[in-house]
Amino acid sequence: MEHESLDATHNRPEGDRQINSPVLSIDIPSYIDQIKNENAWQENDRNAITVFKSDKMRIVLVALHRKAEIQTAHPDNFLSIQVLKGRIGVVADVKQTDADKGQIITLHDKIPYKIKALKKSLILLTVVE
């Protein structure tokens, strides 16, 4: 397996960051500080950063302002949503399930969903093919 990193961008000029290697340590508190200090957090209802990405799995840290929503009508992948801070509601199969800090909601593939921040929240999304 090769190591994979993302290049610096206009929004993230700090330089390359490792997103895939045989063993990868991910410093979540550092990424939380980073996304909460970026302009996107100040200007939008959310900000996110991919902290791991392979051909089978992706892990994304997402900061959501209250009432921010993420949804998809045609999901192809399994999904887990871990609440690191705050409170979210997930609507799937016409049922809403709420989750607080420390809780995880999982969804099978092909289930349309909507995630809504019931208060300012931090979530860790894990998407698996």
CA–CA separation, 6 vs 31, rounded Å? 14
Q: What is the DSSP letter of 24?
A: -
Report how many domains make up the chain.
1
**Residue 12 pLDDT level (bands cut at 50, 70, 90):** low
CATH of the domain at 16: 2.60.120.10
pTM (two decimals): 0.89
Mean pLDDT along residues 48-53 = 96
Beta carbons within 10 angstroms of residue 124's beta carbon: 18
Distances (CA, A) of 100 to 7, 13, 44, 103, 123: 34, 33, 23, 6, 10
Q: What is the DSSP letter of 13?
A: T
Q: Range of 42's domain? A: 4-128
pLDDT tens sequence across 97-119: 999 999 999 999 999 999 999 99
